[in-house]
Amino acid sequence: MISLLRRLAPLMSAVRLKALSLGAVAALAGCSANPIYTTTGVVLSGYSKTEATPYVMQMSDPQMACSLGEGVDPLLYSFSRVTDAPYSTGSLLMLLAANCMEYRAWEAELAYLRADFAGRVPAAKDAREEAKRLNARVAERRYLAFQRAMAAYEFDPAAEPLACPFLFNEQDELTFLLGLLTGMQAIVNDANSGARADIPKNIAPQAERAARCVDNEKWGGLPNAIRALVWLLLPDTRPALSPDPWAVLENSSELGVQAGIRASMAVEAVAAETFGRPEVLADVIARFAEAEGRIEVWDEYRLVDEVAAGVIRFSSDKYWTRHYGYRTPQSFFGRMTPERNTENVETMSLDGLL
State the Cα–Cα distance between residues 282 and 166, nearest whole angstrom. 39
Q: How far is CA 207 from CA 1, 48, 184, in A?
A: 78, 26, 8
pTM higher than 0.75 for the full model?
yes
Helix or strand holding residue 51 (H, E): none
Per-domain residue ranges for the chain?
215-336
State the Cα–Cα distance between residues 155 and 138, nearest whole angstrom. 23
State the Cα–Cα distance between residues 127 and 106, nearest whole angstrom. 10
pLDDT in tens, the chain (354 residues): 444 445 544 544 554 544 444 444 444 444 556 888 888 888 888 888 888 888 999 999 999 999 999 998 988 888 888 888 889 899 999 999 999 999 999 999 999 999 999 999 999 999 999 999 999 999 999 999 999 999 999 988 778 788 899 999 999 999 999 999 999 999 999 999 999 999 998 999 989 999 999 999 999 999 999 999 999 988 988 888 889 999 999 999 999 999 999 999 999 999 999 999 999 999 999 999 999 889 999 999 999 999 999 999 999 999 999 999 999 999 999 999 988 765 554 555 545 444
State the Cα–Cα distance between residues 134 and 267, nearest whole angstrom. 20
Q: Helices 278-291 and 245-259, interaxial angle, to 10°?
A: 10
